[in-house]
Amino acid sequence: MNKKYFPELIGLLVIFSLAFLFAGKPGIPKFQSAPRAVARPSLPSPQTIPEDMGIKRTGSITLTLQERNIFSEDGKYLKPGEKPKPVLPENPYTLIGILDGRERKAVFREYTGNLVVLTKGKKLIDEAVITRIDSRSVQVKKEGKDRELKIFQIAPPKPLRIKNP
């Protein structure tokens, strides 16, 4: 070992030994008294709450939550094996075309993107029934109201107005 670094090594040894001596041991002190019980204020039980405090309990909260589902529109739970009703848009289908053959068939595109081919008397996705199929239109009856769907529902063009300078 080189004698040149001997004083630095002695200084480091003294610093580490002092740090070791002054450092405390982790853990529980040996002479500790038993933990004292802390006096906490007692809360009144639900049966001892006086009526003048304004708290009136008419039933169990859990029973109320079991009766009403707060996450559904109608507030009801589904029965086992029951599927939820899909929420349909205002017009859930579009008439795409008419197939003319032995029997006329109407081709619809549903809001989900599916293509459906139906004949007279069949039901659509929203429980509407096809009552008539013509060459360019289909008549649909739902809840007593008749509605006619046309293949090409194009508005007539507006005339061009040219202003003279």
Contacts of 111 (CB under 8 A, 6+ apart): 88, 89, 91, 92, 93, 125
Mean pLDDT of the chain: 78
Whether the predicted pLDDT of 141 surpasses 90: yes
The reply to whether 110 falls in a domain is yes
Cα–Cα distance for residue pair 123/127, rounded to 1 Å? 5
The reply to whether 2 falls in a domain is no
Amino acid, single-letter form, for residue 93: Y
The reply to whether 106 falls in a domain is yes
pTM, whole model, 2 decimals? 0.45
Whether the predicted pLDDT of 41 surpasses 80: no
Whether the predicted pLDDT of 135 surpasses 90: no
pLDDT in tens, 100-118: 888 999 999 998 888 999 9
Q: Give the number of domains in the chain.
A: 1
Predicted confidence band of residue 68 (pLDDT cuts 50, 70, 90): confident
Q: Which domain holds residue 99?
A: 93-150
Are 93 and 87 within 8 A, CB to CB? no
In this structure, what token pair is assigned to residue 65? 């939550």
The reply to whether 135 falls in a domain is yes
Q: Which residues, in sequence order, are bridge partners of residue 145?
A: 142
The reply to whether 121 falls in a domain is yes
Burial zone of 81 (CB within 10 Å; 0-12 exposed, 13-18 middle, 19+ buried): exposed
The reply to whether 137 falls in a domain is yes
The reply to whether 81 falls in a domain is no
**Residue 49 region, left (φ>0) first, then alpha (ψ -120 to 50), else beta?**
beta
The distance in angstroms from the start CA to the end CA of the chain is: 108
Give the domain CATH number at 100.
Answer: 2.30.30.830
The count of other CB atoms within 10 Å of the CB of residue 98 is 16
The reply to whether 38 falls in a domain is no
Contacts of 133 (CB under 8 A, 6+ apart): 98, 104, 105, 106, 119, 120, 139
**Residue 68 region, left (φ>0) first, then alpha (ψ -120 to 50), else beta?**
beta
